[in-house]
Amino acid sequence: MKNISLYIAKRYIFSKTNTNAVNIIAGIAVCAILVATAALFIILSVFSGLEKMNLKYFSNVNPELKISPAKGKTLDSLTFVIKTLEKQQDIKAFSKVIEEKVYIDYKGKQDIAYLKGIDENFTKVTRLDTVVYGGDYLDFSRDDNFIVSNGIAERLQLYIDPVTPADLMMPKAGTGLIKQESEAFTKKEAYSVGVFILNEQYDKHIFTTLGLAQELLDLKENKCYAIELKTIGNKSLNDIKSTLQQSLGSNYIIQTRQDLDSAFLKVMNMENLISYLIFTLVIIIACFNLAGTIIILILDKKKEIQTMYSFGLSRKNIRNIFFYTGLIITLLAMFTGLLIACVIGLLQVNFGLVMASETVPFPFLFSVQNFTAVIVTVLGLGSFVSWLISRQVK
């Protein structure tokens, strides 16, 4: 048996016999929900693209696993740690690193940066060498060179300079009265050989050789702050983390890439949630148009409602007519909005309509999760409003 309520609702929406105020208001409701749906999907897709792009950039410099001391800065029993790692079949490569703040002075311009000293195995663990867009990668045959972030390069006008060195200064540990600068800082001269570009988190970083970092900190050759690891990829990082923790003991902290990126992921998720809530509010406001459309339709069809009731149509069937009317408007607007958003997304992916920078367009990522979030949100709100207003039919 044909659903008479649905049939009448479709006639109300798609009938071409006349055009009146109800049709115009219904069109406005469709446009309002359509625009809000498209905007919500575009925002969620852009945020997903930004998250994926930033995680890709992080993977170029953030290791899969990192071992650091539970207490203090330097790794004790480094030989023990290395021997333990060499026995692990799931570990493909590892690199010793040192991270510390450093004071840079170049041609009278100063800045404070994060210095990361790395050894020759670092490119086996990460892909730092692939993000150097100007100059060369580090030369490990000498301990007087570094590569600098694009942000520091712009602030200090320190790009590639094999002639004029920059002064790198690190505070000395110790106590007592300082009488001259040499007693307070360890100072080394080094040359900028390359410029890398990543993201804001690495905007104040420089990378140098492990030997230079050890000299600045007065550390012995067998000392480092952490060891970064690359796995062969056959097991989950959490499983390998548990195995290493059992082998090394509680004196060491082991972090996965997700642990290292947790702060960034929390910020991105919070921004994504706030954007979702803002545009959900926009959809709620758009649904006021839907509510107004149904109310005006009820008033416009008041005589027809009495006639249908006289012919034996139940109150539930009559209410369902207006519920289905609102549902059809919501579905029509939602799918049209998603279609428009997909077209805009494809144009952005293929032609870069909107640029995040001079060379990088805003990323746009199609995902089932975003489609589901938009459909559930719009359809849920539209259905609730339609049900609520249709209950007003007496």
Look at residue 1 in the predicted model and tell me its pLDDT: 43
* Nearest to 199, CA basis, from 60, 376, 76: 60
pLDDT of residue 356: 80
Residue with tokens 């289905």: 324
List the chain pLDDT tens, one digit each, 394 residues.
468 899 888 888 876 655 567 778 888 899 999 999 999 999 999 999 988 887 777 777 889 999 999 999 999 889 999 999 999 999 999 999 999 999 999 999 999 999 999 999 999 999 899 889 899 999 999 999 999 999 999 999 999 999 999 999 998 875 555 556 566 789 999 999 999 988 777 889 999 999 999 999 999 988 999 999 999 988 999 999 999 999 999 999 999 988 888 877 888 889 889 999 999 999 999 999 999 999 998 988 888 888 888 888 888 999 999 999 999 999 999 999 999 999 999 999 999 999 887 777 899 999 999 999 999 999 999 999 999 999 988 7
Q: Are 320 and 5 in contact (CB under 8 A)?
A: yes
Collapse the DSSP code of 133 into the 3-class scheme (helix H, G, I; strand E, B; otherwise coil) and give the result: strand
Q: Domains of the chain: which residue ranges?
A: 4-58+264-390, 63-257
Quote the CA–CA distance of 216 and 231 in Å, as a whole number: 31
Q: How many CB atoms lie within 10 A of CB 137?
A: 18
**Residues facing residue 227 across a β-bridge:** 67, 96
> What pLDDT does residue 341 have?
97
Classified as helix, coil or strand, 147 is: strand
pTM of the model: 0.76
Strand partners, 191: 145
pLDDT at 58: 72
